[in-house]
Amino acid sequence: MYQSLLRQQLELLKSSNQYRTFTTLSRICGRYPLAKLDDSEQDPVVVWCSNDYLGMSQHPAVRRDMHLALERHGAGSGGSRNIGGSHQLYARLEHSLADWHGKEAALVFPTGFGSNDATLQCLLRQIPDCVVVSDALNHASIVNGIRATPNERRVFRHNDVAHLEEILSEYPLERPKLVVFESIYSMDGDIAPIAQILDITRRYNALTYLDEVHAVGMYGPRGAGVAAELGLADRVDIIQGTMAKAIGVIGGYIAASQVIVDAVRSFATGFIFTTSLPPAITAGCLASIEHLKASDNERQRLHAHTGLLRKRLDEHDIPVMPCSQTHVLPVLVGEAERCKAAAQRLLNTHGIYLQPINYPSVPVGTERFRINATPNHSHAQIEHLACALRETFEHFAIPLASVAFAQEVA
């Protein structure tokens, strides 16, 4: 019976084009963004949708420090942070993260999903009668953490500060309130109106929680994120980030006041009852962050390549969605089946790997490719991508920008 019930659910998923399949890619160390497809002897493919935004997973200093830590400490951490897993590298990493964001303290988790999920659950359970107000497009990890508690929860329209204020004005000043939003939204590539949100939250006595996972390393002084770029980081109560994207390794963290960090460390079950990051991973994260604090080279190349790619896509009439303000370039396809077919053609015919982004990651009718250039992509690869997308769009009669956005305006 149970097998049959689950099989039915899987068939529904497949019939709606929401079923996910994995493409086996073996990245080639030192040759990023190239990767081998499966175990084949074919030429490598070019990866255009990795979250390794700056190629730091390949950086010699990161790899060197990971090797050294592996030889000194072995493979695993040996336990949770409370039971044997707080090796010496952790103190250095958390100090570095706190310094990065100008906060009193930081706390590291095994994943970025876990840092959002565990921290939000903890805060909502420990702050009595706290109402949480969340942006409509917040990440699944944020939604998961919020839904796991019985707290009153409200959702404000994406980046709509008037709607946020309307919601907050319904509650007394003394009622605890937590406002959760992101700096850069990864599917649209847009930026939150951080200054306006902070003005409103201060007016209504709300705690602020800012997810900067798609910004750290790439924006702001020393790569500390969008809030730092705007000179607003000191006004944000809790900054959450990941070490799995621009930092190039894995892990999540929060940076905040000593009291907030200590409360999460002491009460968050998702932190207490999980094994800590291995020493080699921690060492790699620390090496990457320290490099990005000191080097602007990777950031400058990323933004230069993004600008060039945006220009070439525009010249080829490829429909980059106008919401994009950042390194994330969402290319509109608009139909799930064609999005999957186009991705397959790009891979098999052009040697380009792009993952189709379908519902529920994005709304039905806005299926897309989520493209990001890196410092490692060459100008020739950028030109090849633009030409390949044009050929693929024409092959499947996918509307080009001049048609897609003209219809949208009409």
Given a contact cutoff of 8 angstroms between Cβ atoms, the answer to whether 318 and 389 are in contact is yes
On whether the CB atoms of residues 260 and 184 are closer than 8 A, the answer is: no
For 75-92, give the DSSP string: S---SBTTTT---HHHHH
- Candidates 345, 364, 332; CA nearest to 16 is 364
Taking the C-alpha atoms of residue 82 and residue 216, their distance in angstroms, rounded to an integer, is 28
Look at residues 357, 381, 319 and name the one whose alpha carbon lies nearest to residue 47: 381
Q: Is 18 exposed, middle or buried, given 0-12, 13-18 or 19+ CB atoms closer than 10 A?
A: middle
Place of tokens 């019930």: 5
CA torsion sign for 302, 304, 309, 311 is positive
Active site residue 311: no
Q: Are strands 329-332 and 368-371 parallel, antiparallel or unpaired?
A: antiparallel
> One of 103, 245, 293, 311 is an active-site residue; which one?
245
Query: 328: closest CA among 17, 3, 13, 49?
Result: 49
The residue whose two tokens read 């090496």 is 287
What does the DSSP 8-state code read for residue 239?
E
Q: How many CB atoms lie within 10 A of CB 285?
A: 28
**Contacts with 225 (C-beta within 8 Å, 6 or more apart), sequence order:** 101, 183, 212, 215, 216, 219, 233, 239, 241
Which residue carries 């920008």 as its tokens? 401
Question: Over the range 181-212, which residues count as b (16 or more CB within 10 Å of their CB) and which as e?
Answer: bbbbbbbbbbbbebeebbebbeebebbbbbbb
Residues serving a catalytic function are 245
